[in-house]
Amino acid sequence: MAKITKDMMISEILKVDPGLAPVLMGAGMHCLGCPASQSETLEQAAMVHSVDVDELINKLNAALEA
């Protein structure tokens, strides 16, 4: 099973599982389809949105396991 890491691009995460979009949007990342999100790592997006990247990674990986 794939694991989400902070160096993955947002677009990669959504390719792993499109069902992770609600988790990202719940963290305030509402612009998943905008051009910037296609070339941003999860860590970069978390910084822009003032989100704790480690907490978000835990939520994303928990959602993958569920």
Q: Is 30 left (phi over 0), alpha (psi -120 to 50) or beta?
A: alpha
CA distances from 9 to 12, 14, 24, 46 (A): 5, 9, 12, 11
3-state secondary structure of 66: coil
pTM of the model: 0.89
pLDDT, tens only, 44-54? 999 988 999 99
Mean pLDDT of 33-47: 85
Whole-number Å distance between alpha carbons of 13 and 51 = 17
Whole-number Å distance between alpha carbons of 50 and 66 = 26
Is residue 33 scored above 80 in pLDDT?
A: no
